[in-house]
Amino acid sequence: MSDTAIMTLKTMLANLDDAKKYQSLRDVMETLPAPDLAAVFEDLPPEKLPVLFRLCPKDLAAEIFAELTPETQQNLIDGLTDKELKAVVDELFVDDATDLVEEMPASVVKRILAQADPATRRMINELLKYPEDSAGGVMTTEFMELRPDMTVTQAMDAIRANGIDKETINNCYVTDKDRTLIGVVSLRALVLEKDPKRTIRDLMDANVVSVSTTTDQEDVSQLFEKYGFLAIPVVDAEKRLVGIVTIDDAISILQDEASEDFAKMNAIGPSDKPYFKQSMWDLYKSRAPWLVFLMISATFSSLVIRGYESALAAVTVLTAYIPMLTDAGGNAGSQSTSTIIRGMAVGDIKPHDLPRILWRECRVALLCGLTLAVCNFGKLLIFDRVSAPVALVVCLTLMCTVLLSQLIGGLLPVLAEKLKIDPAVMASPLITTIVDTTTLLVYFNIAKAVLKI
């Protein structure tokens, strides 16, 4: 249904100059969710943005605005009057307004802050103090606060009086006089409570999980996943409640972190833009440096081969198995690396598990290596018709390389974590390069020993 509405909307936009269509445009827009409308806005030429934006009711306009990319937000702001800008900023949730201030160039920021009302401006400035990727940087200060000695009736009255501006009222946070967080109570519990005289202290859950303003956003979003919360309170060093992180932000963080890990594990530099929004230069910047770096690292494998050129010249068939062996090592290595990286990302594996990891990887690598060696030995003798000693060399190398690769693959991400380097950069491409050199060294030395060359 919303797909047809989007189509209708796009057709109408094609003839936006026809003034009589404005009312129908507004009607269509009201049936669409803000993220869909935002997608339509992204495709509009900058000069048409304010026209369409003015047609939206105030709260929908703010919702759409929060969903736009920074480029489109800036284009839109440039086309709005000060009064219109003020309306948008006042309607935005303060965490979205802060994100906006963080993304815009200085001149636009000045205009935004000049239009924001003093309370909003204070909250924005407060939030700007925290690092962007900390709990303080992603939280909102618009939460619902209750006192422990309120009755259910008083609490519901407080919510009715103040709830409208809050980002969520599904969870309300209980604080004592100096704003220390002492509990949480859900709107559900308040609504379902049969005795209106009961106090919040009776009803609240005093074992409330909170994070500090400095907690990393990734750790915060993992708590959402683990405990199934809809919001998590954020406290300062004195345990005073200063904000909450809501689940919609947590989901974005989880997805962004997963995308980031994907990119790093495939030798791509960071980018927070969707594929088609990236310019050629963006794509180039994110790919070329890694390719150059990995190419230079591959120098070692060339050096090893050149060092054993005479051995290769003596038994030229050895060359034929170089790609197979290095690939097997690379694949085995990235299997363990990626398992460990993902395990650490979702919290199943901790750095102090290293000895257990190596012991497991060692055993599974022996099993895998043996399987590969046996399969390959048969194939070499029957199909490739190489001599038994050469087959032996290839298969012994295969076993050693799988073992070494999976051990290195298990070790590297843990080592990276301990050295405070992001484990994901240690993944597939880098391990492939490291494993290549190891594999070739093992290969040529086994060949020299077995074939006596």
> Within positions 215 to 244, which residues make up the interface with its own copies, using CB under 8 A?
224-228, 230
In the complex with its own copies, which residue's Cβ is closer, 134 or 432? 432
Distance between first and last Cα of the chain:
74
Site track for its own copies across 68-87, x = CB under 8 A: --------------------
CA distance 27 to 16: 14
99 binds its own copies (CB under 8 A): no
| CA dist., res. 49 & res. 27, Å (int) | 17
- 7 part of the interface to its own copies, by CB under 8 A: no
Going by the DSSP 8-state scheme, the letter that residue 199 receives in this structure is B
Residue 330 interacts with its own copies (CB under 8 A)?
yes
State which of positions 18-47 bind its own copies (CB under 8 A). 30-33, 35
At position 379, the amino acid (one-letter code) is: K
* Nearer to its own copies among residue 105 and residue 228 (C-beta): 228
Distances (CA, A) of 326 to 1, 394, 401, 433, 443: 52, 11, 8, 9, 10
The residue among 77 and 398 lying less far from its own copies, judged by its C-beta, is 398
- Indicate whether 384 belongs to the interface with its own copies (CB under 8 A): yes
Decide: helix, strand or coil at residue 221: helix
- What CA–CA distances, in Å, run from 17 to 12, 97, 412, 418? 10, 32, 61, 61
Angle at 265 between CA 264 and CA 270, to 5 degrees: 15
How buried is residue 197: exposed, middle or buried, by Cβ count under 10 Å (0-12/13-18/19+)?
exposed
Number of residues that bind its own copies (CB under 8 A): 115
Taking CB under 8 A as the criterion, the residue among 110, 188, 197, 240 binding its own copies is 188
Q: Of 26, 147, 201, 287, which lies in the binding site for its own copies, with binding defined by CB under 8 A? A: 287
Which listed range, 41-49, 95-103, 109-117, 275-283, lies at the site for its own copies (CB under 8 A)?
275-283
Residue in 146, 159, 200, 244 binding its own copies, rule: CB under 8 A: 159
Which residue of 61, 328, 416, 442 would you call a contact of its own copies, by CB under 8 A?
Answer: 328
Q: Name the packing angle between helices 388-418 and 322-345 (round to 10°).
A: 30
Judged by CB under 8 A, which stretch of 13-21, 42-50, 185-193, 211-219 contacts its own copies?
Answer: 185-193
Cα 86 to Cα 92, 113, 348, distances in angstroms: 10, 9, 47
Among 110, 197, 240, 356, binds its own copies (CB under 8 A): 356
Neighbours of 57 (CB within 10 A): 11
Q: What residues from 121 to 150 belong to the interface with its own copies (CB under 8 A)?
A: none
